[in-house]
Structure 1
Amino acid sequence: MLDSPEAPRCDILFDTTNVRENLHLHASQLPTPATPLNDGKPKRRISQSDETPTKKPRLADAESSNDVFDVVVKKRSCRRTVFRTLGLTSNGYPTEHRVLLPSRNILQSFVSSHTSDVFKCHSRTVDSFVTPPYACAYSNEAKRGGIPLLAVATEQGSVNILDTTKRTEWDCEPARVTLEPHDNGIFDVKWNADDTLLATASGDKSTRISSVETQQLTSILDGHASTVKCVAWDPAHRDLLTTGGRDGMLCVYDLRVNNLSDQDEIPARSAVITITAAHGQDKISGGRQKIRPLPRGITNILYPDDRPHGLVSSGSFDGILHYWDLRLPSDKSSKRSPKKPSYHPLFSSTMDPTTFHGARCRGITSISQGSGPSAGLLFALGADSRLYIYSYPTLTPLRTETHPNLQTNSFYVRLATSPCGRWLASGSTSRAGSLFLFDVSNAGRIAPSYGRRADEPISQTVRFRGQSGEIGAVDWASDMIASCADDGTVRIWRPDLERYQTCISNPEEQKWEWFWST
């Protein structure tokens, strides 16, 4: 059950005055940098229903062990340029072997091989060879630099666990594990804290818990009246998790209690806390026939790192975020169920940033929290093709970013922050299959701006094209990122400056073997 609420540097490596800027990277792989501390050490850190949406694929026509520091280099013209210094111990070089790389070039160095970095989601049926992936999630161990296991959930209700360890060209794909917890599309998948369980949210109105070791179902979580869109594990309690649905409900489950039927082989559990219409209801206007207002759907939820009992949620109607303390029910009980406690947001966003550009309010498709240099920030992807940045814990909108080619007019598109907290990845509904990477390492040090001048540059953004159709699901491991597309493929992107330079110097030849940023 829930706990009771409690009472209310930059190291100097060497003289960098005469360091040249045109240094090259002498490594085949550039790991994602960890966040530096003041002491210079890395921080640790389908029963098908009529209401269930079916997403149709739209195909096109055709924390790391390496030391990382920011070094300021003084140039003759008195300008100062920031370089990133990397210790490449993981690549086999001695710790004293270091290279300097401009920070802006790190995002551009991601490449993906056509042979060893592509995985296909095989279909269950004989009428098609592949099936579109809807969601993906790297294990917690992968985000800490361990074996990069990636769980990919598909339209047909299966989950493929892929080992995305870098391999040489034409090597066989490592054996994958396939789970089949649902017979309907899976819209979210999450690993628990020790990577032994997977929670899957599906269009069959249920969330199911599967054991990774035994590959069997362990629990079925009921309670939603519509598609379950998102799920999140409580980081402070291994048996607690929360789901959000298209029905506007937030449901909290405790895997230790509420077994609805002791006779069932697979335990079915009900929610210990249910919050209905968590983001309000749609207003009905006009007409003589009275229509019951529909609740606004929940699109994403997350547990902030510093407040294990808190929960942040986003909705499909507007850009307002809610913060919930699940230990503190309201003093007022619900009108329909006087005996049940009622829950209200502890606080919410004071304004809707999606209306700042003169348009009507638009929903949020995905939210992600920052860490390291972006700690204290929440990033949200709007259905209006804009990236919104909120402060935490006040949930105050700070600024917005976008890209001319970014399209997110779909609630299937997701957002993910890198483990180091410096970069942000976003999918896109563009038919060209575009993946976007944003540099958010300075997002917390930039003043709020909503009506930015037309000539004011946005933060560094890189675009990747290597798949067909919409790219919806994305996630990071310690030194790679995965993108899932409607063409039934999962592509892994890895930083490799040497290979990137080869690609741009000879694009006609290299395009048959690699994809890279444009």
Structure 2
Amino acid sequence: MLHTPSKSPRVALAPKTNTLDTPHSIGALQPKAISFLPTPPADRKLKRRITTEGNPLQKRLKLSQRYEDGSSSDSESDDDQFMQDVEEIQARSRRNTTFQLHTRLISGPATVCRRYAPSTTALLRSFVSSNKSDIFKCNSVGPDTYLTPPYACSYSHGAKAGRVPLLAVATEQGTVHVLNTCKRQDWDPESSRTTFQPHNNGIFDIKWNQDDSSLATCSGDQSIRISDVQTGDTTAALHGHTSTVKCVAWDPSNSSLLATGGRDGAICLWDLRTGLGSLQDVDLTATKPTLTIYGAHEDTTIKSKSKPRRGKHQHAPRTVTALLYPESQPYGLVSSGSYDGILRYWDLRKPMSSKKFKSTKSVMPTELYCSPVDPATIHGSKRPRGIINLASGSGPSAGVIFAIGTDSRIHTYDLPTLTAQRKTFSHQNLQTSTFYVGLSVSSCGRWLACGGSAKRGNSFLFDVENAGRPGSTPEQGIELKGQAGDIGAVDWAQDTLATCLDDGIVRVWRPDVETYSKCLKTPEESQWDWLWST
């Protein structure tokens, strides 16, 4: 009698596993057990990996620490070590799409467990600026002066994504210049720029909408203007503040919604699709805000318009200095003030109407929570210190809010709790006495730039890739020096940084290892053509 093989699935899987039926159940057709585990070597002692000194790819490189103290050397060994550090950083960057490194957005708090990334300070040192092709002048519209100081600047969303680097610059005279800051040769002329005049007063903030078709500008004339980028025409005039408008932010989920903050202490929310309470503004129909949060950073729980009292002195309102929409919190708005380092988070959704409470008054946004502690007091300050500007992290720094304060420190906060951390970024030459010092995070989320004051003519770069990792130590910042006047506004495009100077000059910085190495070797000759970090 012939033996029929078993139809059990274990027989079919037997050649691929180490578990078989017994010979009695399968018979003579049983295959041999196949083991995929390697046989351990006879010598079980750990062996040290052999490296070849001539091949650097077989060595485990460690970034040099000789440049961390802010000093530089002209010796050949130091230059070779610097080049080796930069080559390693560039090799790692190429594996993650050069200079982009788009990491998925982390919506949770910043204090999550993540791997520490190697320092990119050596690459930040290689940022240089040409004295011929990286300079853009803000010409004055008046006959008395030749140049006018730029107060604010903003790169388009396309520039941050690697497309045409269009930079919008707003000046003290209310003029807007749209510049093409693409890299060019020293003998090439500047690309044609677009110039228009939305205000006749200083512009303190300027922002692009999501599709880069419009620009929002806020000015000392107490108004906000929406301008068409192609034609330069003003398409909307927004009136609702009673003092200088300091900051503006577009809602990333809806190009018709934006928020503004002013010196009057109020936050105004606007919807460009509505014309509530129309007013006449020259040839335009001015729009009133949809909602207004009065006294946003006052120590009161009720954010309503204050009524003056007879015979009592009214203190100056606490200015709203910066606004941002967190991408991980879709219906929220974060604001900062000039009085202290407390950030406030606002829920912009209207609560559901109740039949029990009927009122004709508009429903105010709810302040969900605020920072529990002023970070300046954590570092020994005896009084509160205000915040000048805010910037939200992205990619590897997602979940962190950076805030530059009047105490000359860049503080960090966690999202969504707004808890101030002990970790700060600072530099011995960083001073922030002026009210318009800018702060910006690069599109890759790894670098942070800020301006400086006290007539030093310097700006600063920081590696913030490990800012959201607990226990990491902030590294020493890089100082970009050699400019004239205070540095106010700064902003990033892809691997490009723009800085605005008080003398009416906008300067562009780019990473260039070869040029930087040449500047270190021949500083006296190179200073006529280039500026570089110190």
Q: TM-score when scaled to structure 2?
A: 0.76
Alignment of 1:91-490 (within 5 A): 103-258=120-275, 260-261=277-278, 265-280=283-298, 289-328=311-350, 339-356=361-378, 357-399=380-422, 400-447=424-471, 458-490=474-506
The DSSP-based 3-state class of the residue aligned with 1:178 is strand
Give yes or no for the alignment of 1:511 onto 2:527.
Answer: yes
Kindly indicate which of the two structures has a greater share of residues assigned to helix: 2
Letter aligned with residue 376 of structure 2: T
User: Residue deviations 1:102-145, cap 9 Å, x none?
Assistant: 72211100000000001110001111100000000000000000
Give yes or no for the alignment of 1:493 onto 2:517.
Answer: no
> Is the 2:214–2:226 contact (alpha carbons within 8 Å) kept by the matching residues of 1?
yes
User: Residue deviations 1:157-216, cap 9 Å, x none?
Assistant: 000000000001121000110010000000000000000000000000000000011210
Letter aligned with residue 277 of structure 1: G
The DSSP-based 3-state class of the residue aligned with 1:141 is helix
Letter aligned with residue 396 of structure 1: T
The DSSP-based 3-state class of the residue aligned with 2:402 is strand
Q: CA deviation at 1:306?
A: 1.6
Q: CA deviation at 1:468?
A: 1.4
Letter aligned with residue 224 of structure 2: T
Q: 1:331 to 1:262 in 2, by over 3 A?
A: closer
Q: CA deviation at 1:308?
A: 2.7
Structure 2 counterpart of 1:18: 59
Alpha-carbon distance in structure 2 between the residues aligned to 1:226 and 1:216: 24
Alpha-carbon distance in structure 1 between the residues aligned to 2:61 and 2:255: 50
Q: CA deviation at 1:44?
A: 8.1
Q: Which runs of 4+ in 1 moved over 6 A?
A: none
User: Residue deviations 1:8-54, cap 9 Å, x none?
Assistant: xxxxxx99433677555999xx79959959xx985588xxxxxxxxx
Q: 1:43 to 1:404 in 2, by over 3 A?
A: closer
User: Residue deviations 1:247-287, cap 9 Å, x none?
Assistant: 011001110102544987423111111100000069xxxxx
The DSSP-based 3-state class of the residue aligned with 1:345 is strand
Letter aligned with residue 403 of structure 1: H
> Is the 2:220–2:244 contact (alpha carbons within 8 Å) kept by the matching residues of 1?
yes
> Is the 1:436–1:463 contact (alpha carbons within 8 Å) kept by the matching residues of 2?
yes
User: Residue deviations 1:455-500, cap 9 Å, x none?
Assistant: xx74131001132121110000001000001011000000001100
Alpha-carbon distance in structure 2 between the residues aligned to 1:281 and 1:196: 39
> Is the 2:350–2:363 contact (alpha carbons within 8 Å) kept by the matching residues of 1?
no
> Is the 2:280–2:286 contact (alpha carbons within 8 Å) kept by the matching residues of 1?
no
Q: 1:26 to 1:294 in 2, by over 3 A?
A: closer
Q: 1:312 to 1:31 in 2, by over 3 A?
A: farther
Q: TM-score when scaled to structure 1?
A: 0.78
Q: 1:41 to 1:441 in 2, by over 3 A?
A: closer
Letter aligned with residue 122 of structure 1: N
Q: 1:307 to 1:115 in 2, by over 3 A?
A: same
Letter aligned with residue 341 of structure 1: V
Q: 1:418 to 1:32 in 2, by over 3 A?
A: farther
Q: 1:502 to 1:229 in 2, by over 3 A?
A: same
Q: CA deviation at 1:372?
A: 1.1
Which region of structure 1 is more displaced relative to structure 2, 198-207 or 427-436? 427-436
User: Residue deviations 1:45-83, cap 9 Å, x none?
Assistant: 8xxxxxxxxxxxxxxxxxxxxxxxxxx9xxxxxxxx976
Q: 1:183 to 1:349 in 2, by over 3 A?
A: same
Report the count of equivalent residues. 435
The DSSP-based 3-state class of the residue aligned with 2:246 is strand
Alpha-carbon distance in structure 1 between the residues aligned to 2:413 and 2:219: 29
Identity of aligned residues (%): 51
Q: CA deviation at 1:443?
A: 1.1
Q: 1:128 to 1:41 in 2, by over 3 A?
A: closer
> Is the 2:291–2:362 contact (alpha carbons within 8 Å) kept by the matching residues of 1?
no
User: Residue deviations 1:350-403, cap 9 Å, x none?
Assistant: 111112213210100001000111110000000110110001100001122211
> Is the 2:348–2:366 contact (alpha carbons within 8 Å) kept by the matching residues of 1?
no
Letter aligned with residue 235 of structure 1: P
The DSSP-based 3-state class of the residue aligned with 1:106 is helix
Alpha-carbon distance in structure 2 between the residues aligned to 1:512 and 1:394: 49
Which region of structure 1 is more displaced relative to structure 2, 181-190 or 395-404? 395-404
Q: 1:214 to 1:44 in 2, by over 3 A?
A: farther
Letter aligned with residue 434 of structure 1: N
> Is the 1:202–1:229 contact (alpha carbons within 8 Å) kept by the matching residues of 2?
yes
Which region of structure 1 is more displaced relative to structure 2, 386-395 or 340-349? 340-349
Alpha-carbon distance in structure 2 between the residues aligned to 1:167 and 1:481: 15
Q: CA deviation at 1:446?
A: 3.3
> Is the 2:342–2:373 contact (alpha carbons within 8 Å) kept by the matching residues of 1?
yes
Q: 1:318 to 1:310 in 2, by over 3 A?
A: same
Alpha-carbon distance in structure 1 between the residues aligned to 2:101 and 2:341: 38
Letter aligned with residue 278 of structure 1: A
Structure 2 counterpart of 1:51: none
> Is the 1:33–1:420 contact (alpha carbons within 8 Å) kept by the matching residues of 2?
no
The DSSP-based 3-state class of the residue aligned with 1:445 is coil
> Is the 1:35–1:420 contact (alpha carbons within 8 Å) kept by the matching residues of 2?
no
Alpha-carbon distance in structure 1 between the residues aligned to 2:151 and 2:201: 11
Alpha-carbon distance in structure 1 between the residues aligned to 2:183 and 2:335: 35
The DSSP-based 3-state class of the residue aligned with 2:468 is helix
> Is the 1:136–1:150 contact (alpha carbons within 8 Å) kept by the matching residues of 2?
yes
> Is the 1:35–1:42 contact (alpha carbons within 8 Å) kept by the matching residues of 2?
no
Alpha-carbon distance in structure 1 between the residues aligned to 2:217 and 2:522: 43
